[in-house]
């Protein structure tokens, strides 16, 4: 009714463009109209994350939200609307428009759908009858914090702690970032204090609101339901990289690193549900894989990040130890540091895209290609507490590498206790 009311406010469209009857909108297939009353309506779950968060943490938040969706599906018919990518801190390539990017640019949607029902935002717009989100919950902590030793999972509708990132327009609709879709409007916005795992908000979505479309903003405030469990790994395994990016990575491996799936024992099944590899069966290509995070990690003067010279010294010793001659480096280092690396490490190989490739794959696609190549190395070493390195660990775990070749990181020169990453064993 609301949407029909809005249409009435606008200039009268031609007869052909009149909004469809309610029964023809979201959740109702035309063929099922006689049984429309009996058909369960589809509800839409949308979410967003704190703007400064990067590509790889956002992938982790997807796993948490997928877990919530599985909980909701036990009671009702829900589908997850994938939040378009864009405007991320690490995506700094100039003169390329990087907003409103669909998930299919980076991930294989049929694979995601084998785990939970998902659709792109554009499909949501087409199905739901317009750019309206009925209920937005901004997730936040508790103003009073929590007392040590008294952790409990809870959620309450509370006054907003921070200033809302939404403002009302003259029609009383909420305007906001909405992934770069400025025509999107929110009908209601309220704040939820949350303390606990993702499924803690399920009762609120099922009982406190009947809105057909519900958005959780600041979704990173929810924790994992079961980090590292079977449900976690099912969702993680379903996050198969888009085929076109894997092909680019495979061609690069073959051409510059003498690496093929046959020789490396890294056969990949397109259907992730059929892929179950025994740990230690993958050999990997004849090269060392390195993720060297710089920029904000060195600006923060972190003790656990090495100098370039320190990193090169470690790389040299690993090449010698594993009798390898080539090293593939994924890094966000600035141009000056890249030049220095080339001098210190002439055998370094990097994926350096042409302008056309950059425009085609975008910064997110290049990150995926880098991760895919690192995931196939004989031995991998990453950067301390970097989510980019964590995602490579998981990819190698799925491919069946010996954990000793995966869970390794650089140490800072002045680091007293250089603890290596935890091995999160895959669960089927």
Token output for 127: 């199905």
d(CA 398, CA 279): 9
Query: For residues 88 and 365, is the Cβ–Cβ distance under 8 A?
Result: no
Cβ-count burial 59-93 (b if 16+ within 10 Å, e if not): bbbbbbbbbbbbbbeeeeebbbbbbbbbebeebee
- The list of the chain residues with pLDDT below 50 reads 1-37
pLDDT digits (tens, 9 = 90+) for 239-272: 999 999 999 999 999 999 999 999 999 999 999 9
d(CA 67, CA 252): 35
Query: For residues 102 and 84, is the Cβ–Cβ distance under 8 A?
Result: yes
Q: Catalytic annotation on 53?
A: yes
d(CA 340, CA 290): 16
Can you say how many angstroms the Cα of residue 385 is from the centroid of all Cα atoms in its chain?
A: 17
pLDDT digits (tens, 9 = 90+) for 137-179: 999 999 988 777 777 899 999 999 999 999 999 999 999 999 9
d(CA 378, CA 288): 6
The model carries a pTM of 0.88
Give the residue from 364, 357, 390, 387 showing the smallest Cα distance to 92.
364
Residue 369: burial class (beta carbons within 10 Å; 0-12, 13-18, 19+): buried
Out of 53, 394, 395, 397, pick the active-site residue. Answer: 53
- HSE at residue 85, side-chain half, CA atoms within 13 A, is 25
Token output for 135: 């209920």
């Amino acid at each position: 009714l609301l949407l029909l009311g809005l249409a009435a406010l606008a200039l009268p469209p031609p007869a052909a463009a009149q909004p469809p009857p309610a029964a023809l909108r979201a959740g109702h297939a035309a063929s099922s109209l006689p049984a429309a009353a009996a058909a369960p309506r589809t509800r839409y779950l949308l979410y967003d994350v704190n703007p400064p968060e990067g590509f790889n943490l956002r992938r982790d938040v997807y796993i948490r939200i997928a877990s919530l969706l599985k909980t909701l599906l036990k009671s009702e018919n829900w589908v997850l609307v994938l939040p378009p990518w864009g405007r991320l801190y690490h995506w700094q390539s100039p003169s390329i428009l990087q907003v409103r990017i669909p998930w299919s640019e980076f991930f294989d949607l049929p694979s995601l759908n084998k785990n939970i029902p998902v659709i792109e935002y554009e499909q949501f717009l087409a199905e739901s009858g317009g750019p309206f989100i009925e209920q937005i919950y901004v997730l936040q902590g508790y103003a009073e914090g929590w007392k040590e030793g008294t952790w409990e999972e809870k959620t309450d509708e509370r006054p907003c702690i921070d200033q809302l990132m939404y403002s009302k327009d003259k029609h009383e609709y909420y305007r906001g970032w909405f992934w770069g879709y400025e025509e999107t409007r929110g009908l209601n916005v309220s704040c939820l204090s949350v303390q606990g795992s993702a499924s803690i908000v399920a009762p609120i979505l099922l009982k406190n609101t009947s809105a057909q479309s519900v958005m959780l903003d600041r979704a990173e405030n929810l924790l994992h339901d079961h980090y590292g469990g079977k449900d976690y790994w099912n969702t993680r395994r379903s996050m198969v990289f888009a085929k076109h990016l894997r092909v680019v990575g495979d061609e690069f491996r073959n051409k510059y690193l003498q690496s093929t799936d046959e020789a490396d024992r890294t056969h990949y099944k397109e259907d992730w549900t059929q892929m179950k590899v025994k740990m230690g069966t993958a050999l990997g290509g004849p090269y060392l894989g390195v993720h060297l995070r710089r920029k904000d990690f060195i600006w923060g003067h972190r003790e656990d990040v090495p100098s370039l010279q320190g990193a090169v010294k470690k790389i040299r010793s690993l090449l010698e130890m594993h009798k390898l001659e080539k090293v593939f480096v994924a890094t966000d280092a600035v141009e000056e540091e890249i030049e220095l690396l080339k001098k210190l490490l002439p055998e370094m190989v990097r994926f350096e895209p042409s302008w056309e490739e950059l425009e085609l794959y975008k910064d997110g696609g290049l990150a995926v290609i880098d991760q895919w190549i690192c995931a196939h190395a004989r031995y991998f070493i990453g950067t301390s507490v970097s989510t980019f390195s964590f995602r490579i660990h998981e990819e190698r775990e799925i491919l069946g590498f010996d954990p000793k070749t995966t869970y390794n990181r650089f140490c800072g020169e002045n680091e007293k206790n250089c603890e290596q990453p935890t091995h999160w064993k895959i669960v089927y």
